Structure 1
Amino acid sequence: MTAPAARRIVLTGATGQIASLMARYLAPRHRVILTSRTARPGARRPGLTHVTCDYGVYESLVDAFRGADALFVVTNDPTRPEHDRNVVRAAVEASVGHIVKLSAAAVLDSAAHDLITEWQRGNEERIRASGIPWTMIRPRSFMSHALGWAPGIRSGGTTYALHPHSRNACVAPEDIAEVSARLLGDTGHHFRSYQLTGPQPLSAHEQSAVLSQVLGRPLVCRELTPEEAHARYARRYSPAMADALIASAGRQLAGAKAHTTDTVERLTGRPATTFARWAADHRERFA
């Protein structure tokens, strides 16, 4: 059922957390090429090479992808869909053997029609139409989003959230990375999709309580109004992205993100990481 391990694996999004985590699993046994738009001189180690390429320039992607037995695709800008088109076009031209796409669990939600979700649906459709064997990874929210609270925790012992009692079955980035690394180049997972969640749905209020225990100090979770939340998002993202995040929070309030799966355990042989375990492992980033 399983083909020989891929010899050359290309990971896009080298500056993001998932690709860098995947490299830890893959580099000891494979030739791994990390690609990004910016140079990473410190990324060199045995089995690992970094290639700088521009996702807006199709030809540079072809050169980076050529000869890849498997390609991990992560893109992060719904306002630049040409990047996604270029990635798939280059993968076809370079005769990539297998694509593993980091998508999102929201694509399965019939009530989700925001910018981000529709963008991910389009990305999935493009890959399915490419003719290249594919596997879709659809995670819930990353546990690492809680790191956005770190400045408020350090300065005033406060976390902030829109709808702080709504629950999300968030998943550890380390679990996403391990699952994705296991699937690359494995013919037994061709043309399959996997929804990844953590072991339990938690609210921002409950996550804050866990962080309080881990840090050994009291924390207060303050509720943001939709206007306050939108203003916070708009400081980092485009207005359209901010609108999408507000819509996503509304679906969470309606219970759309509380469902859990056992996918991490089925594919790795170990239970999915709890938020308490993840928070303890990253304690120094909050302290």
Structure 2
Amino acid sequence: MPYDYSKYEFKSDNHKYQGITAAYLERERLKIDDSINDIYGLLRKQKIHIFRRKLEDSDISGVYIKHPIAGHCVLINYSDDLYRQNFSMAHKYCHVLFDSGKEQSITYFNREMDYVEIRANNFASNFLLPDKGIESINTDISYEELIKIILDICNHYNVSSKVVIYRLKGKRFSEKLIERLLKDERLIISKSDKIDPELVGASKNLHERLKKIIESGISLEFIELVRNAYQQNEISYGKMLECLQMNIEDAKQLIDLWDVYMEV
């Protein structure tokens, strides 16, 4: 279960400090040594219901609510870049840890931030990319070498180049260099170079079909729970259709596809 950091006695009331401190406490509590390859699987083990769905409003990165019965629920905009989705999930996890007693939280892309959002952003960047991920970078290397190292870090820690660059701000890099890096198009990582953690192991043919399921808001974890419940006669076929919000033909295709996926 998630820890409640709203009751934690921090040494400072500074929200940035709290976010960074909590990130390392959580990495230690969850026994995360290096990169987080599947943030959704990791945080679902914390009893958080996570859904990814294509949203019409591209400005919304994610939504968090604490439902009185279901508990912690997070919706991530599946239209976003995969690394952006990872960051949004880590950001929302901070709201789970600090703000579950408040109203629902909606995160907008490129909006002015309050202190709570600043805490969540600092938590997310340090939770996904710890200090040890950037400690080898120093100001003595060439610009071209720096570009290569940043790309390597992005792909190892599954974060965007912006996350890495902003983390470098505290390592004596000049504002001029930071701005140059943010504008360098070579640091825009191709979509084809990123792997959805929920689709690892699936064949290329299954990828597209499973992506359509995920973008509709149905998690692969939920499909497996419903499928198991039906196979163990805990729910009827009609109840399974209701849970999946599908008609008979679509549900049959899904279950056949899922059987193939589970065998891969």
Q: Which has the higher helix share?
A: 2
Looking at both structures, which has the greater relative contact order when contacts are Cα pairs under 8 Å and sequence separation is at least 6?
2
TM-score by length of 2: 0.24
Higher strand share: 1
Query: Which structure has the larger Rg over C-alpha atoms?
Result: 2
